[in-house]
Amino acid sequence: MEQSNGPIQQPLHAASADPAFVPGITGVVAPLDDAPGPEDEPRDAVVAAAEESDVDADEGADEDAAPAVAEGGGPVFEAADRRGRIVADAEGVRLSYDEEACEFRWDEIAAVESGKGRFGKRFTVTVHTPDRRWYPIEIIAPDRGHITGWEAGLDAVLDAYFDEAS
C-alpha cells in the first residue's frame, strides 16, 4: 500500500479557474422569447445584411493599402483589430482597448516603441512618458504583411510630428 508523506492539497477554486467565483460577475443573459431573433427575420434581410458586411470588409482592405493623410496634409497612422485601436496624427497618439482609452499629446511623450512578434501576427506599440511610465497595446494583424505596412506608417507619423529634443 502506498501512502503520501506530503500535505494534502485541495483543488483551487478561485477566479483563475472559475470566473463565476468573483462576486459581481454575471453570466450571459439568455434572450427573451418575445425578442425577435435572426430566425424571425425574412431570408432577404439576412442576405442583405451579409452583403453589406462584405462591402464594409472590402472597404477596410482598401483603407489599409493606401496611407492616410490628415486634413492639414500630414500623415496619419491607424491600426485596429476587434479589440484594440492605435491612432497617431498631428494631435498625438490615442490608444484604446475594449472600453479603456488614453490619449497623449506629442509634448507628453518621451518615446514611442514598436515591435512585431517573431512568428505571429502581433504588432505592439508602447508609449513611454517622461515620468517613466509606459503604456503598451497589442494589435493582431489580419496577416503578417500588414505589420510591415503598419511599421512604415507609424515611422512616417513619428518622423513628421515627434520632436526628440523635447
Q: What is the pTM of this model?
A: 0.57
CATH number for 153 = 2.30.29.30
Q: 99 lies in which domain range? A: 75-161
The answer to whether position 59 is within a domain reads: no
The answer to whether position 153 is within a domain reads: yes
CA distance 78 to 73: 16
127 in Cβ contact with 88 (< 8 Å): no
The answer to whether position 1 is within a domain reads: no
Encode pLDDT of 46-95 as tens digits: 444 444 444 444 444 434 434 566 566 789 999 999 999 999 999 999 99
The answer to whether position 43 is within a domain reads: no
Helix %, strand %, coil % for the chain, to 5? 30, 25, 45
What pLDDT is stored for residue 3 in this prediction? 63
CA distance 59 to 135: 30
Higher pLDDT pick, 25 / 48: 25
Encode pLDDT of 108-155 as tens digits: 999 999 998 888 899 999 999 999 999 999 999 998 889 999 999 999
What pLDDT is stored for residue 25 in this prediction? 53
Number of domains in the chain: 1
The pLDDT-based confidence of 18 (bands split at 50, 70, 90) is: low
The answer to whether position 86 is within a domain reads: yes
The pLDDT-based confidence of 43 (bands split at 50, 70, 90) is: very low
